[in-house]
Amino acid sequence: MAEPLLKVNNIEVIYDHVILVLKGVSLEVPEGGIVALLGANGAGKSTTLKSISNLLRAERGDVTKGTIELNGKTVHNLTANDLVRQGCVQVMEGRHCFEHLTIEENLLTGAYTRGRVNAAVKADLQMVYDYFPRLYERRKSQAGYTSGGEQQMCAIGRALMARPKIILLDEPSMGLAPQLVEQIFEIVKKLNKEEGVSFLLAEQNTSVALKYADYGYILENGRVVMDGDAESLANNEDVKEFYLGVS
Ligand code: ATP
């Protein structure tokens, strides 16, 4: 069987040397897959994504056990910059666009590991505008003056400018109207299908995540308590009761 693109193997994460938050999390993302990481507020979804992209140190967090592999190579000693070069980019919760830069300038920052703005970068900018026509319309606006949905699109577009193999997408639905959430997930699905980008997406919105993902993991209190293909999770009675609000 082919090696998964991303393999997280039994990681433990501790903040501030004492607060044990992830207690042995394992998950896989196959090449070309969309995998959802689900769970309530505080379950450890963002911590898992930051462990993969090596962004924990800034928050005094440490992976103290386990391994993380991208394309069969151990990556947990790489800097976040090197990881981008290896094809793994995170879109942080809350988008974090540069407010004073225009949408286009924000998008171009995503290509900084590629050097000059050459023809290939310009072609990718056009590709981003083709997927997100709204960003083309708003390209000259300062990001700080655009809507939450436009900023989420900008954050995904910026990640695409690095030509990633996998995007770690943290809570894309946060604060957005349901119709806009669907629109963004439709584009994620399209990018997956047409550009072959894999996604690991952390979401509290279980129903929308399971609608678009192929596979899901449910985290509770720093542990994976259930995993399975999206359809079987969506039909599971416990998932229905505790995460989908139906029973
Ligand atoms: P949310 O959707 O609210 O972001 P989450 O599932 O992504 O939830 P995390 O943000 O990973 O959860 O948080 C998991 C646990 O780790 C929580 O109890 C949180 O309070 C704690 N935590 C997160 N960051 C830190 C930090 N920098 N220092 C100490 N504890 C932290």
Q: 138 burial class (0-12, 13-18, 19+ CB within 10 angstroms)?
A: buried
Query: What length does the chain have?
Result: 247
Q: How far is the CA of 46 from the centre of ligand 1 (A)?
A: 7
ipTM of the complex: 0.95
Helix boundaries (H) for 96-217: 103-109, 119-131, 133-137, 148-160, 178-195, 206-212
Closest CA to 158 of 102, 83, 219: 102
Chunk the chain into consecutive blocks of 10 residues (it has 247) and report each block's average pLDDT, rounded to whole numbers.
Answer: 88 95 97 96 95 90 95 87 91 86 95 80 95 96 94 95 96 91 95 97 95 96 96 91 72
Strand 215-220 and strand 223-229: the pairing is antiparallel
How far apart are the C-alpha atoms of 93 and 51, rounded to whole Å? 14
Instruction: Give the integer Cα–Cα distance in Å for 197 and 31.
Output: 8
**Could you identify the atom of ligand 1 that is nearest to the CA of residue 219?**
6
Separation of 42 CA from ligand 1 center, angstroms? 5
Radius of gyration, CA atoms only, the chain? 17
pLDDT of residue 101: 95
* Ligand 1 centroid from CA 47, angstroms: 6
Ligand 1 centroid, distance to 44 Cα (angstroms) = 6
Q: Whose CA is nearest to atom 30 of ligand 1?
A: 15
Ligand 1 pocket, residues with Cβ under 6 angstroms: 15-16, 19, 21, 39, 41-47, 59, 61, 93, 171, 204
pLDDT of residue 152: 93
pTM for the full predicted model: 0.94
- Rounded Cα distance, 128 and 156, in Å: 9
Mutate to test the pocket of ligand 1, among 11, 15, 51 (most ligand atoms within 8 A of CB): 15
Angstrom distance (rounded) from CA 211 to CA 234: 8
Q: Taking the mean position of all CA atoms in its chain, how far away is CA 58?
A: 19
| Confidence (pLDDT) at 239 | 86
Residue 247's pLDDT is 53
At 78-131, the pLDDT tens digits run: 888 889 999 999 998 876 889 999 999 999 999 887 777 788 899 999 999 999
Looking at residue 163, what DSSP letter applies? -
Distance of alpha carbon 13 from alpha carbon 48, whole angstroms: 8
Tokens of 66: 């386990």
